[in-house]
Amino acid sequence: MQVQGVRESNRFLFDRLASTASREERALLFNDYMSVKFHLHHWQEQATDSARMSIRNCYLRFLKGWKIDSNSVAGAVLKHWVESRTGISPTFHRARIDDINSEAYFNYTVDVMKGSAQTSAIQSQLDLLFEFVQFELPRKYPGLKAITLYRGTHDAEEYDVLKSLNKREQIVRMNNLVSFTSDAERAWEFGRTVWKTSVPLAKIFFYNDLLPGNVLKGEDEYMIIGGEYHVQRII
């Protein structure tokens, strides 16, 4: 999966990334490029508080907001990016979302508008972030198209089960953006049910050690574009 036109319109960045051997240097190069392109380092120079806040509320703050609460305003903006780029609607935001005409979906869109209004060009920032992730993943996992990840949950019974394959395997519908971990043991810290699944690299939106400082610290966390997944319950 690629966001159409993003790499072409930011060719300078991706050419520089392709010629940089060090993962750490590529991450710093990406951060610097984002700072310059979206004027993120000029927030103190803005004339009004709202203008300063619009720049300060950059993609990093939304990632950190997801880490704190995936049902926050930040979480809504990230889910909206997935919805707008892939067509996969959220199934949960503060409450279960059964369809786009529901009150829960309306409340989700209100959070989207709140978050988007606070931030300059957040969807474009997220487009570039996703393309950087997709640039890095083949280097992190050479030769692989998918990796095994784990999700711990306390409410497995609340998921839409599309098909039961046997006592431990199901096809389930995930929210349109959902957190997984690469550490099976850590997954148990997040729920009494742990699922294992194979996730295509093309559906990884972000992962914890992509950028300096580990935005999603300490959980080997991967933010995954949701939809239908074949999961196996770990005993």
Q: 47-85, pLDDT tens digit by residue?
A: 344 434 444 568 999 999 999 999 999 999 999 999 999
What pLDDT score was predicted for residue 105? 98
One-letter-per-residue 3-state SS of the chain: CCCCCHHHHCHHHHHHHHCCCCHHHHHHHHHHHHHHHCCHHHHHHCCCHHHHHHHHCCHHHHHHHHHHCCCCHHHHHHHHHHHHHHCCCCCEECEECCCCCCHHHHHHHHHHHHHHHCCCCHHHHHHHHHHHHHHHHHHHCCCCCEEEEEEEECCHHHCEEEEECCCCEEEEEEEEEEEEECCHHHHHHHCCEEEEEEEEHHHEEEECCCCCCCCCCCCCEEEEEEEEEEEEECC
What pLDDT score was predicted for residue 118? 82
Q: pLDDT averaged over the chain? A: 91
Q: 141-188, pLDDT tens digit by residue?
A: 999 999 999 999 999 999 999 999 999 999 999 999 999 999 999 999
